[in-house]
Amino acid sequence: MAVTKWKSALLHTGLIAGFLLSIFPFYWLAVMSTRTTPEIYSYPPKLWFGTQLFDNISRVIANIDFFGAFMNTLFVASTCTVLVLFFDSLAGITFAKYHFPGKKGLFVLLLATMMAPAQLSLVPSFVIMAKFGWVGTYKALIIPGMVNAFGIFWIKQYAEESIPSELLDAGRIDGCGFFRLYWNISLPILRPALSFLGAFTFIGVWNDYLWPLIILTDESKFTLQVALSSLNGIYTTDYSMVIAGTLLAVLPLILLFLFISKQFISDIAAGAVKS
Partner 1 sequence: MAEPLQTRTRLEPDLRTRQPERRRGLGSEIWKHRYEYLAISPFYLLFAVFGLFPIAFSMYLSFQRWDGIGEMTFNGVNNYRFMLTDVEFWKAVGNTLLIWVYSTVPMLFSALVVAFLLNASFVKFRTFFRIGYFLPNVTSLVAVAIIFSTLFSNNYGLLNYILTQSGLNAVEWLNKTWGIQLAVSLMVVWRWVGYNAVIYLAGLQSIPTVLYEAAKIDGASGIQSFFRITVPILRPIILFTVITSTIGGMQIFTEPQVLVGNDGGVSGGGLTIVLYLYREAFVNNYFGYGAAVGWGMFVLIALFSIVNWKLVQGKSDT
Instruction: State which of positions 24-43 bind partner 1 (CB under 8 A).
Output: 25-26, 28-29, 32, 40-43
Annotate 23-61 with b (16+ C-beta within 10 A) or e (fewer): eeeeeeeebbbbbbbebbeeeeeeeeebebbeebbebbe
**Quick one: which of 120, 166, 218, 220 contacts partner 1 (CB under 8 A)?**
120
Rounded to the nearest whole angstrom, what is the least distance from the CB of residue 126 to partner 1 in the complex?
7
CA separation, residue 46 to residues 30, 56, 59, 85 (Å): 12, 16, 21, 45
Residue whose CB is less far from partner 1, 63 or 232: 232
Question: How many residues of this chain bind partner 1 (CB under 8 A)?
Answer: 93
**What DSSP state is assigned to residue 46?**
P
DSSP-derived letter for residue 35 is S
Using CB under 8 A as the binding rule, the residues of this chain from 46 to 85 that contact partner 1 are none
Cβ proximity to partner 1: between 103 and 191 the closer is 103
Window 155-214: residues binding partner 1 (CB under 8 A): 177-179, 182, 203, 206-207, 209-210, 214
Residues 6+ apart with CB under 8 A from 174: none
Q: H-helix or E-strand containing 241? A: helix 239-274
In a 3-state reduction of DSSP, which class is residue 76? helix
Calculate ∠ Cα 202-203-209, nearest 5°.
105
Contact flags string 80-109 toward partner 1, x per CB under 8 A: -------x--xx-xxx--x-xx----x--x
Question: Which of 126, 187, 195, 238 contacts partner 1 by CB under 8 A?
Answer: 126
- In the three-class reduction of DSSP (H, G, I as helix; E, B as strand; rest coil), residue 219 is classed as helix
Contact letters for partner 1, residues 228-257 (x by CB under 8 A)? xx--xx-----x--xx--x--xx--xx--x
Nearest distance, CB of residue 170 and partner 1, angstroms: 18
Residue 29 or 189 with smaller CB distance to partner 1: 29
- Under the criterion CB under 8 A, does residue 119 sit at the interface with partner 1? yes
Residue type, position 128, single letter? I
Q: Candidates 21, 51, 104, 166: give the one binding partner 1 (CB under 8 A).
A: 21
CA atoms of 92 and 108, how far apart (whole Å)? 13
Sole binder of partner 1 in the list 72, 81, 148, 201 (CB under 8 A): 148
Pick between residue 1 and residue 188 the one whose CB is nearest to partner 1: 1
Q: How far is the CB of 124 from partner 1 (least distance, A)?
A: 4
Work out the number of other CB atoms within 10 angstroms of the CB of residue 270: 14
